[in-house]
Amino acid sequence: MPEGSGTIVVIEDDPAIADLVDMYLRREGFRVIQASSGEDGLEVTARERPRLVVLDVGLPERMDGLEVCRALRATSDVPVVILTARDSEVDRIIGLELGADDYVTKPFSPRELVARIKAILRRAEPSSRRDQAMLRVGEVEIDTQRHEVRVLGAPVALTAREFDLLSFLAEHEGLVLSRRQLLDGVWGVGWVGDDRTVDVHVRQLRKKLGTALPLSTIWGVGYRLG
């Protein structure tokens, strides 16, 4: 699918912010659907099956953004970008552990948000995968064309960012990669964030793939797969 096409759902209760994000995404060719509550956002996402969801953490009423993210991850692997006014490390880690692919702290640059969205979509689409279609490390099989991961033939659901991190590690099997190398290779050289982001996603991979994933922590350096 072309980069600037398809549907993006924006779940944001502040009309000014929602309209700003809507305007910048539509300029890039995306179809945008807004939802002002978590419940409406889940309903729209289930109905429209968007390419990506932009999700505000501070939603009103019964479901905040973290609860919405948890609910999305229970049924879908759609990429999620969190918008948050909470700048604490704990809040960022919680969002990533729940399966968000990226986070942007308010106030934010709409151009930066769009750039991050495009980067996530490029990595998530099968057409962006590297030439080697199948990667295998231990009992883990990574199908880069179908964007699927299997352990002993059984499918394992990963977020787009988790899949990219696993693929990058597998493509460099046996090499020790620093957190900065992983950030540059998976999130992109221009990505702004701290090294703990890598640790959170590694922890999620270990949780989902268990002992089938031969991933070692090299203390003081980074990680090695295989």
pLDDT digits (tens, 9 = 90+) for 185-197: 898 876 767 778 8
Phi, psi angle pair for 131, to nearest 5°: -60, -35
Give the per-residue pLDDT at 100: 87
The pLDDT tens digits of the residues spanning 28-37 come to 999 999 999 9
CATH T-level assignment (fold) for domain 129-225: Arc Repressor Mutant, subunit A (1.10.10)
Asked if 44 and 33 count as a contact pair (C-beta separation under 8 A), the reply is yes
CATH T-level assignment (fold) for domain 7-126: Rossmann fold (3.40.50)
pTM, whole model, 2 decimals? 0.65
Give the per-residue pLDDT at 94: 79
What's the rounded Cα separation, in Å, for the pair 102 and 82? 6
Neighbours of 49 (CB within 10 A): 12
Give the per-residue pLDDT at 181: 87
Hey, do 7-126 and 129-225 end up sharing a CATH topology, with the first three levels equal?
Answer: no
What's the rounded Cα separation, in Å, for the pair 120 and 187? 8
Q: Where do the structural domains in the chain lie, given as residue ranges?
A: 7-126, 129-225
